[in-house]
């Protein structure tokens, strides 16, 4: 049977664009891609990229006071949200243009349209046109979810935060994950009075406990009113503000409420299940190690599969898909030892297992200290360097860093951990002095487990 295309990709985010582009330009496949929103997807348009630019913007807030400690006399300024937002959106427009051009130059035909599945080889565009393809790749990503509480519709999500007409005077951020913690820090830096509610006993569940504790401590020290074991019970509109009743019976009024309470895969209405594609309870597409669904011609990558919901992972899944399907080189996706970072202030960088996750005897090497740059001016900022080491093999099983630029540090430490470096390999690496990260190679004595 002749198909219109070798590959039809649904979704123009990081994973979908990479798979489409590489399949078309490097394997000669005839490829089409449909995107109903903006090209670049969550990462570029409403996630990693604008978030990181907001992190940069917010970090300037302590510049004048820190500089004063170093002898500079810089007058205190104010933050102009509209000026920043205008530049931010110009940058996002530029990046979207780059994504569109990449696809065009690779010879991918694009449709600015929603696409849904008709059968194992056919998709339908919003205008009713149908297209056939030998393979279909679902890369539709995810969306923020909002809990089912009274008045939830009054709240915003991370999708809205980049479009605010003005920064609120105060905000309640609900959640204790990546997004909640990152925006608590960003908005505090921008001068917003931030309260954060987390329903459990400590934020950043799943990360190393010592790292979580230090991030929480530093966030509170910098002004986030972080409250744990608490949630929103109900919300009511109060003029331009929102009146919140919490689960402890307390009430308070905030200019805005932001729900950062998780994300769900975008599979609704795609018609996947009737075709035989299996979905998990949260709607995520079930795939095997090659990103293949229960229907052999349909594959899925990225957040829609809810494996590791990170851009670089979606990109790798896209590349592995192209190798498997278009290069005849079956390539399972390697999800082992993925380094990642939470862009709080300070950042948390992590790779491998946490101390609590160890299933074999381990030694813990850890140090917290006041880094030179801020200690010099009398600031109390603290950082953490921590290694989880197998007693038996001596391999570094986990590395956890809480520090400014921990994201940059963990990228490099991640190479060593991925290569299977032992504690002794770390020890024989000469320190770069004076840096914060030198401590990662100078910790001589285990603090636990020795
Ligand atoms: P997360 O799953 O990381 O966190 C969701 C948070 O909301 C958790 O603290 C969770 O609590 C809480 N929560 C869930 N349901 C409710 C509820 N009904 N009421 C109150 N609290 C609730 O999701 P995010 O939205 O922060 O991020 C989504 C994903 O996006 C991340 O997992 C990550 O993969 C990716 N991401 C990565 C970033 C990076 O790499 N720097 C940045 C941003 C996002 P509990 O812990 O109790 O379940």
Residue range 436-444: mean pLDDT, rounded: 98
Is 232 a residue whose pLDDT tops 80?
yes
Residue range 169-192: mean pLDDT, rounded: 98
Atom of ligand 1 nearest to the CA of 158: 25
Task: Return the best residue to mutate from 15, 54, 175 for the ligand 1 pocket (most ligand atoms within 8 A of CB).
Answer: 175
- Which tens digit of pLDDT belongs to each residue from 118-132? 999 999 999 999 999
Residue nearest to atom 36 of ligand 1 (CA): 178
Is 450 a residue whose pLDDT tops 90?
no
Q: What's the count of helices (H) and strands (E) in the chain, helices before strands? A: 11, 21
Task: Specify burial of residue 206 (Cβ count, 10 A radius: 0-12, 13-18, 19+).
Answer: exposed
Residue range 155-181: mean pLDDT, rounded: 98
Residue nearest to atom 21 of ligand 1 (CA): 175
C-alpha 369 to ligand 1 mean position (Å) = 29
- pLDDT-derived band of residue 1, with 50, 70 and 90 as boundaries? confident
- CA 363 from chain centre, in angstroms, equals 30
| Mean confidence (pLDDT) of the chain | 98
C-alpha 263 to ligand 1 mean position (Å) = 7
Q: Distance of CA 286 to CAs 127, 224, 300, Å?
A: 29, 38, 8
Residue nearest to atom 16 of ligand 1 (CA): 261
Residue range 168-193: mean pLDDT, rounded: 98
What domains does the chain contain, in order, with CATH numbers? Answer: 5-143+264-326 (3.50.50.60), 152-261 (3.50.50.60), 340-449 (3.30.390.30)
- Which tens digit of pLDDT belongs to each residue from 47-101? 999 999 999 999 999 999 999 999 999 999 999 999 999 999 999 999 999 999 9
C-alpha 37 to ligand 1 mean position (Å) = 23
3-state secondary structure at position 319: helix
CA atoms within 13 A on the CB side of 113: 17
Task: Return the best residue to mutate from 262, 302, 411 for the ligand 1 pocket (most ligand atoms within 8 A of CB).
Answer: 262
Q: Structure pTM?
A: 0.97
Residue range 193-212: mean pLDDT, rounded: 98
Eight-class DSSP state of 409: H
pLDDT at 401: 98
Residues within 6 Å of ligand 1 by CB: 147, 174-180, 182, 198-200, 205, 231, 260-263, 309-310, 340-343
Atom of ligand 1 nearest to the CA of 179: 26
Annotated active-site positions, please? 433
- Which tens digit of pLDDT belongs to each residue from 316-332? 999 999 999 999 999 99
Atom of ligand 1 nearest to the CA of 204: 9
3-state secondary structure at position 150: strand
Name which of 1-5, 81-85, 390-394, 431-435 the model is least confident about.
1-5
Residue nearest to atom 9 of ligand 1 (CA): 176
Residue range 398-414: mean pLDDT, rounded: 98
Task: Return the best residue to mutate from 45, 177, 186 for the ligand 1 pocket (most ligand atoms within 8 A of CB).
Answer: 177
Residue nearest to atom 30 of ligand 1 (CA): 309
Question: Residue 347: how many CB atoms within 10 A of its CB?
Answer: 23
3-state secondary structure at position 118: strand
Atom of ligand 1 nearest to the CA of 181: 26
Is 385 a residue whose pLDDT tops 80?
yes
Is 340 a residue whose pLDDT tops 90?
yes
C-alpha 179 to ligand 1 mean position (Å) = 6
Residue range 302-311: mean pLDDT, rounded: 98
- Which tens digit of pLDDT belongs to each residue from 12-44? 999 999 999 999 999 999 999 999 999 999 999
Query: Could you tell me what percent of the chain has a pLDDT over 90?
Result: 99
Residue range 378-385: mean pLDDT, rounded: 98
């Amino acid at each position: 049977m002749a198909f219109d295309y070798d590959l039809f990709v649904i979704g123009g985010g990081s994973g979908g664009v990479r798979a489409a582009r590489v399949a078309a330009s490097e394997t000669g496949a005839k490829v089409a891609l449909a995107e109903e929103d903006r090209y670049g997807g969550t990462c570029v348009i409403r996630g990693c990229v604008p978030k990181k630019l907001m992190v940069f913007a917010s970090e300037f807030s302590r510049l004048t006071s820190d500089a004063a400690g170093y002898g500079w006399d810089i007058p205190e300024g104010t933050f102009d949200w509209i000026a920043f937002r205008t530049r931010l959106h110009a940058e996002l427009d530029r990046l979207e243009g780059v994504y569109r051009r990449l696809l065009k130059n690779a010879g991918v035909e694009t449709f600015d349209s929603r696409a849904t599945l008709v059968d194992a080889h056919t998709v339908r565009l919003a205008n009713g046109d149908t297209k056939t393809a030998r393979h279909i790749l679902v890369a539709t990503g995810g969306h923020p979810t909002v809990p089912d509480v009274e008045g939830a519709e009054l709240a915003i999500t991370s999708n809205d935060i980049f479009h605010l007409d003005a920064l609120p005077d105060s905000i309640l951020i609900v959640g204790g994950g990546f997004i909640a913690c990152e925006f608590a820090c960003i908005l505090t830096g921008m001068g917003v009075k931030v309260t954060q509610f987390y329903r459990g006993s400590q934020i950043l569940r799943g990360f190393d406990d010592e790292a979580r504790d230090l991030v929480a401590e530093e966030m509170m020290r910098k002004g986030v009113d972080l409250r744990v074991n608490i949630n929103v019970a109900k919300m009511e509109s109060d003029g331009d503000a929102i009146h919140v009743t919490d689960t402890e019976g307390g009430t308070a009024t905030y200019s805005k409420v932001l729900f950062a309470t998780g994300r769900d895969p975008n599979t609704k209405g795609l018609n996947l299940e009737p075709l035989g594609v299996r979905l998990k309870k949260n709607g995520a597409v079930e795939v095997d190690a090659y990103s293949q669904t229960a229907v052999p011609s349909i594959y899925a990558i990225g957040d829609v599969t809810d494996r590791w919901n990170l851009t670089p992972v979606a990109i790798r899944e896209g590349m592995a898909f192209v190798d498997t399907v278009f290069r005849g080189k079956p390539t399972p996706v390697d999800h082992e030892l993925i380094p990642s970072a939470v862009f709080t202030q300070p950042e948390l960088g992590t790779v491998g297992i946490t101390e609590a996750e160890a299933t074999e005897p381990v030694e813990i090497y850890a140090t917290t200290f006041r880094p030179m740059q801020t200690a010099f001016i009398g600031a109390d900022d603290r950082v953490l360097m921590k290694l989880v080491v197998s007693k038996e093999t001596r391999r570094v099983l986990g590395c956890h860093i809480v520090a400014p630029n921990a994201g940059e540090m963990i990228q490099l430490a991640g190479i060593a951990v991925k290569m299977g470096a032992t504690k002794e390999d770390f020890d024989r690496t000469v320190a770069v002095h004076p840096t914060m990260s030198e401590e990662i190679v100078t910790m001589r004595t285990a603090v636990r487990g020795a």
